[in-house]
Amino acid sequence: MERVILATLRWDTAAVTPQDFLPHFLASVEERGDGESGDREEGLLSTLRRHCDTLAAMCACDSRFLGAPPSLVAAASLNCALRGLGNKAPAQLAVTSDALAELCQADLVVLQYYSDMIEYALRQRLRSGLQQGPVEKEEEVENERPGTPTDMREIDF
């Protein structure tokens, strides 16, 4: 019934999320690649994609990021994933961070601040997960990654 009402009123309720920006930012990082071998670069991009997608999904469940523009959260997630993988020299990371700040039309200091916030939130989440201990699940968890923030299972407010 909700869809009928929304269609009748012609309301577009699609929200822009950080996941909408990630493919564009990843393509930009890929263009600026430093010419590594094909298989290694493809594996790195796949890992980078998974890491920044996970970080962006984590931000969607954290109230500290509710007021942040999705493009900034996506750029900060990608920046954190690049720093976390540690495969780039500090000079390369600085150039990439500057490019990401330009892409999301934010100041570099703001991008670094949000990157630090994401890393802090990740440490908190990992710490709280270790304190809770392993949890046995009765049913199998789907291997499919969440497509939207509403697919998330755990939201912290």
pLDDT single digits (tens) 116-149: 999 999 999 888 876 665 555 544 444 555 555 5
- Whole-Å CA distances, 30 to 24, 36, 45: 10, 11, 8
- Select from 57, 54, 34 the least CA-distant residue to 44: 34
Q: What distance in Å separates the CA atoms of residue 60 and residue 63, rounded to the nearest whole number? A: 8
Q: What distance in Å separates the CA atoms of residue 132 and residue 154, rounded to the nearest whole number? A: 14
Kindly tell me if the per-residue pLDDT of 56 is higher than 90: yes
Domain membership of residue 119 (yes or no) is yes
Q: What distance in Å separates the CA atoms of residue 93 and residue 82, rounded to the nearest whole number? A: 8
Q: What distance in Å separates the CA atoms of residue 34 and residue 14, rounded to the nearest whole number? A: 36
Q: What distance in Å separates the CA atoms of residue 49 and residue 26, rounded to the nearest whole number? A: 7
State the average pLDDT over residues 149-156: 57
Domain membership of residue 48 (yes or no) is yes
Q: What distance in Å separates the CA atoms of residue 86 and residue 80, rounded to the nearest whole number? A: 10
pLDDT single digits (tens) 73-83: 999 999 999 98
Q: What distance in Å separates the CA atoms of residue 121 and residue 52, rounded to the nearest whole number? A: 14
% of the chain at pLDDT higher than 90: 40
Domain membership of residue 26 (yes or no) is no
The C-alpha angle with vertex 84 and arms to 107 and 110, in degrees rounded to 5, equals 15
- With bands split at pLDDT 50, 70 and 90, how would you rate the model's confidence at 84? confident
pLDDT single digits (tens) 8-39: 888 877 788 899 999 999 998 888 765 555 56
Domain membership of residue 3 (yes or no) is no
Q: What distance in Å separates the CA atoms of residue 111 and residue 73, rounded to the nearest whole number? A: 8
Q: In CATH, what number is assigned to the domain containing residue 68?
A: 1.10.472.10
Domain membership of residue 144 (yes or no) is no
Tally of structural domains, the chain: 1
Name the pTM for this structure: 0.72
**Domain range for residue 96?**
40-127
Give the pLDDT of residue 98. 93
